[in-house]
Structure 1
Amino acid sequence: MSANPQWDISRALRVARLFHLMCGLRDASVTPFLTLYLRRLGLAAPWVGILMGTKHLITAFWAPFCAFLAKSYQKRRVLLLGSLLGSVGASLLMVLVPPLDEDPGHRSCVGSHSVTPTVLPPELALTGNFTSAQLPASNDPVGMPNLPDKRSTGTGDASGLGKGPGESVQEPFSFLPRNSVGSVEGARIASEVLQPITSRVKGTPWERALKWVSHALPLPAGGTALGSPANLSAAQGGSGARDLSLEGLRWTFLLSLGSMVFWELLAAPVEKVADDSLFEYLDFVDATDRYRKLWVWKLLGMAAGVCGVAAVVAQLDCFLMPSGPRGAAHFYGYSLVSTLALLVSIFFPIPICRRQEPGHKTVRALSLLEGDPRLILLALTVFLAGAASSTVQNFLFWHMEDHGSGELVMGFSVALGLLGEILLRAFKTTLLRKLSRVGTIGLGLGCLSGQMLYYSFLWSWWSVLPAQILSAFSNGALWWAVGASVEDLATRGTERPLSAMFRGHLYGGGTSLGSFVGGFVVKRFSLAALYQASCVALLLWLALFLSVQTRLPQERKINYSKLLAAEAGDTSDSEQEMERDWLVKAMREEPSDWKG
């Protein structure tokens, strides 16, 4: 086998391990932090949900279609190289998208260090600069004390803004729009932002100060002299500012959407094409058992990349983009790793000859899914798990940033779950045997719902780390049980297409729908409410899944090895066993003239 370079298995496995490692580094460099970057562009949760839902939808359906075309026309190598080369440039388009605020106050770079203030919660987040000056005491209608004679531009104190004797404010406070004091529109926005904070600050001098600001400064709408020329011009000016803000939001969203769609169309087919090529390559020589062991290399690459890239970006972010929003360096890291993966893909094993296989395997797998109630129940479980997981992928880093977490801690939290999944793999067989496949699926759904409930009650930046251990069960053990169940229920030749349908179409479709809905839930209610609703939905489905599963008919496949062993053990030369043989019986019952 090794004499033919096409079937050099050892070399092919070495290249495949390195390529999987590069793919893990490539995904970890930007994917976990993508929603955080979109937030820093000024996009609210609904728009981020639409962008991420579109991204998952393209991955779920475009990647299998491209892999099918590449296999049909024998252009796998061309598509693999073209996708990697195109994704190198397409990812950099996101850096060119202008933020909603031309002078974002998300960070200030001093030398080579980035000073990051705290960020408002999603429902209060605004961008800009806030300038506070000493207010004249003669205009104080309630006799409030003068404010400190201090000017603060670009940052606010999250811990000292609303502190009174023995009290503290839980919500971080960062930025108000520029020129908010001294302009009518800024006064209106300042009063709207400060109003929810004053409801939590009782009995302090700041409460009277903020109330004085909201009543003393004129607003563009709702004043006592709405018909006066001054208020009319102020209202017109505020309307023009809002029109400019909506126009900027529209352009930022459309440019982000176009860049992300173009980027995902180029990058999505890479892993699917490489996975199919490697499986067929090893299947020609009956070495698919080695294919099942390559998954660990991608997880190792992701675990190393999500921490390493976050640490590197913290040092190079201000050097690469001194004036843009934080996180742009992630895209440069993605392009660099994609270039390295492009070099490795030149030697990636792709079979030249084609094995004749029955066509329309996907159609057969789909018909099998429609006719088996157990597969339908399993498909709904995977779809709901994808919808719930999308809330973690999209908005967990938002939640951590609101509690003062840095990107390095965020990356470590992801790596903790990946390493737990790798370590738990050693107990996969024992877990499936002791709990059964249905029990393991129930364990995975229960751990996922527990994570959702825990995330809704985060109290500090480090409190997310203990819950990440459960990711080994909510992601790893859940997919092991789903994969084993699919292989058991699939017919001959449909195991792989059916598994790809579960991981691609069903899970990806659930992730897409969860992203679309989750963004609007965060905007309408809160991020904690989204996690609590996901927890309740998962628990209800878990109860329904276990109750329905026990009532479904359980079909068992024929174990041919045991059947052959039993037939071999039953062979005997005795007359009694010869009488049991149907052929002997038939011959003895035939007329004697036939024997002659």
Structure 2
Amino acid sequence: MKRNKQIDIKLALALAGTFNFLCCCARACLLPFLTLYFRQLGLSPAMTGIVMGTKHLITLVWTPVASLLSKHYNKRRAVITGSLVCSAAVALVLLLIPPTDVGARIGNCNKSELSPTQSSGGNLIESSVGPTTTVHPKTNETLGVTTPPDTKSALSRTSVHRLSPDNITTSVNDSLGEPSIGAPIVNQTTNSVAAPVRNKRSTEEATEKTHFDFLGSLKTMDPLHQLFFLILITVSLFESASAPLEWTADDGLYEYLDYADASDRYSSTGVWGLLGAAFGVGGAGLLVSQLSCFIADQTPRSAVHFFCYAAVAVLALPVASYLPLYLNKKRDRANGLLKAMQLVRNSPRALLCAATTLLVGVATSAVDNFLLWQMQDRGSTELHMGMSLALALLSQAAYPLLAGCVSKLLSPGRVLAIGAASLGLQCFYYSFLWGAWAALPAQVLSCFSSGALWWAVKVQCDDVATPGAERSVRRIYTALSVHLGSALGSFVGGLVVQRFGLVWLFIGVAVGLMLWCVCLPVLQWKAPRQRRINYSRLLAADASEASDSESEQERDWLDKAMEDDRGNNNHARRANH
């Protein structure tokens, strides 16, 4: 009784729900818009797919390892705190990576909000056919300099980061051979002048790349590949820092509730994650849409997503310090995952469910990575994007309210097929977007795609798992869908968009899901149905059998004793006679 008085279950659930809300809110402020930021920096679709696929693979491998190490050394709270701090710091470091072109940072801003120099792509020097003039950005005084054709192409690529207003005249004079003041400048196009200009330009470009000396192999690459590898390294560090957070906090909370004999209330904290994600993505989209294109000196408004992530992550630190955690050394997570894999492998219906979740993960990655690209091409702003994604999450969170009615009409296998088909219809709809708000109606289907699908997966986990292994089996399905499937989908999706375009990506995903949904009921019908073992009845049967055997043994002993007693009495009577 003393143990129960020391544990406040309601307070523990409130802290766990608040922490889950804040963590999901922080990730939703940044991750849905991350690929859109990569597009603004200048990454191609194939490069974006490689970055996101690598991110999912790191999570797939590093999450169980980091969670196992934190349990072995009893450092769960330190891992949670370090994950929040380090991920916030790395997210801000990502803002320091320069784009391949300043104009790319403008993104889908309204051009009327930009100044004349910004609307031209961020170049301070404008060139036209024939003689060109250079204008000082502050005094608007014409310098009266005529540039040769070779120099114009070099100057037109000079960005704000590379050229300051004070050295515009010096740079132009240097490229023309430093003429004396007041001397007439003649347009020279001979090879004797063009060669020094090209040499000077190559020298300046080599000087500009000196800040990449810490990555010596990047110096010989073009700017686009330099940008790609810097983003890949930074995103890998970010995911390595944030990946252990979910499993570590989840294991500590479950073992805490299990220690208090309240593990049945563990699932009540899951809905707070969906609500936090909806609040984060909707709030971040609304906030960014109200800002101008640049919130500071050459800082794009899309940087607010990174600041929001860092702020909410820091806000979760006080809650993490009081988060209920418990260490149960008797539980072996490694053996639990291996046992869960064996349970899934030995059940044909569980394997069909695993294949479905893997395909759903591939399709979901196409939506997560490139839906915002499609919406941006149709005129959507961050407001439309945030509201659409928030509606999808709220619709998914509302499915438990309908689960009771749906389970009476459809079996879990049919619900699984309907969920995959609904996702296919969503992808097919995304390929025909026509306006800024066009994606909003399709998001309501998330109730029957993501919500129904994961409900069916949960039922399948309960059917195939032995007592105490439900969470491990569920993590197998999550790893297949959210991480492995999303990684494969990111790699393939980026190549498809690069080669065929966004429209064909969504059409291909929709066709693939529809074909699988046609085959899935037939395969489920052919698969042998394994009867679920009711362990409570089995234990009751064992107890009744044991009691019956004990009573039978007692009867046998008593009958034997009575027979012996009767035999002895008969023998005594015969002796007396």
* Same fold at TM > 0.5: yes
Q: Residues 523 and 567 from structure 1, CA distance in 2 versus in 1: closer, same or farther, beyond 3 angstroms?
A: closer
Gaps of 5+ in 2: 131-147, 157-189, 210-219, 568-577
Deviation of residue 8 (structure 1)? 2.1
Deviation of residue 587 (structure 1)? 9.7
Counterpart residue type for residue 433 of structure 1: K
Question: Would you say the 8 A contact 2:68–2:333 is kept in 1?
Answer: no
Deviation of residue 407 (structure 1)? 0.4
1:554 equivalent in structure 2: 529
Distance in 1 separating the partners of 2:439 and 2:82: 39
The counterpart of 1:533, out of the listed 508, 511, 518, is 508
2:214 equivalent in structure 1: none
1:40 equivalent in structure 2: 40
Deviation of residue 306 (structure 1)? 1.0
1:148-547 paired onto structure 2 within 5 Å: 247-316=222-291, 318=293, 320-352=295-327, 354-355=329-330, 360-547=335-522
Counterpart residue type for residue 37 of structure 1: Y
Instruction: Please list the CA deviations of residues 260-285 of structure 1 after superposition, one character each: whole Å capped at 9, or x if unmatched.
Output: 11111011111111111111111112
Distance in 2 separating the partners of 1:378 and 1:333: 37
SS of the residue 2:62 aligns to: helix
Question: Would you say the 8 A contact 1:42–1:127 is kept in 2?
Answer: no
1:101 equivalent in structure 2: 101
Instruction: Please list the CA deviations of residues 358-406 of structure 1 after superposition, one character each: whole Å capped at 9, or x if unmatched.
Output: 9611121222233322222211111110000000000000000001100
Instruction: Please list the CA deviations of residues 567-595 of structure 1 after superposition, one character each: whole Å capped at 9, or x if unmatched.
Output: 9999xxxxxxx9xx998999999999789
Q: Residues 353 and 555 from structure 1, CA distance in 2 versus in 1: closer, same or farther, beyond 3 angstroms?
A: closer
Distance in 1 separating the partners of 2:108 and 2:359: 41
Deviation of residue 26 (structure 1)? 0.5
Which ranges of 4 or more aligned residues in structure 1 deviate by more than 3 Å?
A: 1-6, 102-105, 107-111, 113-117, 126-136, 181-187, 239-246, 314-322, 352-359, 558-570, 581-596
Distance in 1 separating the partners of 2:486 and 2:358: 8
Distance in 2 separating the partners of 1:130 and 1:451: 44
Gaps of 5+ in 1: 118-125, 137-180, 190-227, 571-577
Q: Residues 352 and 438 from structure 1, CA distance in 2 versus in 1: closer, same or farther, beyond 3 angstroms?
A: closer
Counterpart residue type for residue 522 of structure 1: V
Deviation of residue 324 (structure 1)? 3.8
Question: Would you say the 8 A contact 2:392–2:447 is kept in 1?
Answer: yes
Deviation larger for 585-594 or 270-279: 585-594
Counterpart residue type for residue 320 of structure 2: S
SS of the residue 2:268 aligns to: coil
2:66 equivalent in structure 1: 66
Counterpart residue type for residue 39 of structure 2: R
Distance in 2 separating the partners of 1:447 and 1:116: 45
Deviation larger for 497-506 or 516-525: 497-506
Deviation of residue 492 (structure 1)? 3.1
Q: Residues 334 and 585 from structure 1, CA distance in 2 versus in 1: closer, same or farther, beyond 3 angstroms?
A: same
Counterpart residue type for residue 368 of structure 1: L
Question: Would you say the 8 A contact 1:109–1:318 is kept in 2?
Answer: yes
Question: How many pairs are equivalent?
Answer: 491
Question: Would you say the 8 A contact 2:66–2:244 is kept in 1?
Answer: yes
Please, what is the CA RMSD of the aligned residues?
4.1
SS of the residue 1:431 aligns to: helix
Counterpart residue type for residue 87 of structure 1: S
1:15 equivalent in structure 2: 15
Question: Would you say the 8 A contact 1:486–1:495 is kept in 2?
Answer: yes
Question: Would you say the 8 A contact 2:67–2:244 is kept in 1?
Answer: yes
Question: Would you say the 8 A contact 2:336–2:472 is kept in 1?
Answer: yes
Deviation of residue 322 (structure 1)? 3.6
Deviation of residue 409 (structure 1)? 0.8
Counterpart residue type for residue 46 of structure 1: A
Counterpart residue type for residue 278 of structure 2: A
How does the TM-score come out when normalised to structure 1? 0.73
Q: Residues 186 and 410 from structure 1, CA distance in 2 versus in 1: closer, same or farther, beyond 3 angstroms?
A: farther
SS of the residue 1:328 aligns to: helix
Deviation larger for 380-389 or 55-64: 55-64
Q: Residues 397 and 357 from structure 1, CA distance in 2 versus in 1: closer, same or farther, beyond 3 angstroms?
A: closer
SS of the residue 1:360 aligns to: helix
How does the TM-score come out when normalised to structure 2? 0.75
